[in-house]
Amino acid sequence: MARLPNKQNVFQNGELYFGNLPPENAHEIQERALPSPLSDQEKIARICLYRSQNVGPVTYRNLIKRYKTAIIALEALPDLANRGGLRAPLKLYSKEKVHQELKAHEKLGARLVIEGEKDYPKALRDLNEAPPVLSIHGNPTLFKRPGIAVVGARNCSLNGKKMVQQLAESLGQEGYTIISGLARGIDGQAHQSSLATGTIAVIAGGIDKIYPPEHEALFARIKEQGVIIAESIIGTEPQSTLFPRRNRLISGLSQGVIVVEAALQSGSLITARYAAEQNRDVFVVPGSPMDPRYRGSNALIRNGATLVTKAQDILDALNEPYRQIMKEAVFEQEQADEQNNYLEELIEPDSKTAKDLYKKITDHLSSAPIFLDELIRECSYSSSIVLSALLELELAGKITRHPGNKIST
């Protein structure tokens, strides 16, 4: 059962410690808790694996779970895709392309971080759909601190900017890193107001693509004083399909998302939805019902988001004893689920079972996404066998995964 924390969390030298002051051997404890370093060969193989055709974050993790190393998983990929029904050769990402990526990052002063390395953001490690490969430029120690995301309108008002400045500065002084998407308006103000205390910019294109162009100077300052994160391959131009993926990272990196001036059809509402799915808090600054920039914001409040007018409202909510108990309980359950999932091997179905199972899966699926748990129940096979079949079907391009653990054809 979750226990009520009876000590304050404390920041010291940029680190968050649970309890009062850290023990004298805290650094030794941290060193023991760090992930084991990946060999260069395995790191390259993991990048190749994730960049290969039809391999998304969930399938990547299932492959690592089944084969233990990316080196072995890469060898198995073509056969798995063929069993799932892919007739054309599966396109594997080459080692040469990985070396080109690494050199391009080195030239910029950036680098690739792989899930399993110590500089991979801690906040993303419990998200099943987090990208296993990230480009980062700047100071990765900011990932060790709790983060609060700030999102809102590009065509924001002066009052909106002023509110963001007050919130970002106050939360930064309390030890929170401010996370946003480097867009015009609210995002830009959030970064500007938190440069001194710590800011993270999540961008939609490659780590070398500054968007919007007028934020070139801000981009440079964040690289020096904060950190830039990109999921897309270096050289990728920002495009509309990439912004929702960026938004799920913004919310995933945070403990909560603050929405300031969001219209009804805005990317900020997408970020808020991701936050709810990821068990993050959603905070909203209210506004006039006559202002279209607040219609989405006010709708979030009607649907249960926390109304805030000052930074203390957010701090009080995050430190609320009941919420702390619930978060600890959820964390413990997630840890248990993760351990159970790790222990549960993906069992490869025999040819007769596979044929029957593939038909059941495709019969139950349509273009409308359904929850994975619901699909597993309907298939009448063990989850290990169903998950293995889904892995092969995804590699063959027969199914599509969606946020929130949903699947469609």
C-alpha dihedral sign at 177, 181, 187, 193: positive
Domains and their CATH numbers in the chain: 1-29 (no CATH), 134-327 (3.40.50.450), 351-408 (1.10.10.10)
Under 8 Å between Cβ of 74 and 48: yes
**Joined tokens for residue 65:** 């779970």
Work out the burial of residue 393: count CB atoms within 10 Å of its CB; fewer than 13 is exposed, 13-18 middle, 19 or more buried.
buried
Report the greatest alpha carbon distance in the chain.
Answer: 65
Burial code (b: 16+ CB inside 10 Å, e: under 16) for 45-56 equals: bbbbbbbbbbbb
Please tell me the predicted confidence (pLDDT) of residue 343.
Answer: 37
Q: Is 113 left (phi over 0), alpha (psi -120 to 50) or beta?
A: beta
Per-residue pLDDT of the chain (409 residues; tens, 9 = 90+): 333 333 333 334 433 333 333 434 444 434 334 455 789 999 999 999 999 999 999 999 999 988 999 999 999 999 999 988 888 889 999 999 999 999 999 999 999 999 989 899 989 987 888 999 999 999 999 999 999 999 999 999 999 999 999 999 999 999 999 999 999 999 999 999 999 999 999 999 999 999 999 999 999 999 999 999 999 999 999 999 999 999 999 999 999 999 999 988 888 999 999 999 898 999 999 988 888 888 999 999 999 999 999 999 999 998 865 455 555 555 555 544 444 443 345 666 677 777 788 888 888 889 898 988 889 888 888 888 888 888 888 898 888 888 778 889 8
What is the C-alpha to C-alpha distance for residues 343 and 337, in angstroms, rounded to an integer? 10
Please tell me the predicted confidence (pLDDT) of residue 139.
Answer: 93
Please tell me the predicted confidence (pLDDT) of residue 324.
Answer: 54
Please tell me the predicted confidence (pLDDT) of residue 387.
Answer: 86
- State the DSSP H helix or E strand holding residue 155, giving kind and residue range, or none if neither: none
Long-range contact pairs involving 210-214 (C-beta distance under 8 Å, separation at least 24): 211/182, 211/238, 212/183, 212/184, 214/184
Report the half-sphere exposure of 66 (CA within 13 A, side-chain side). 23
Please tell me the predicted confidence (pLDDT) of residue 325.
Answer: 53
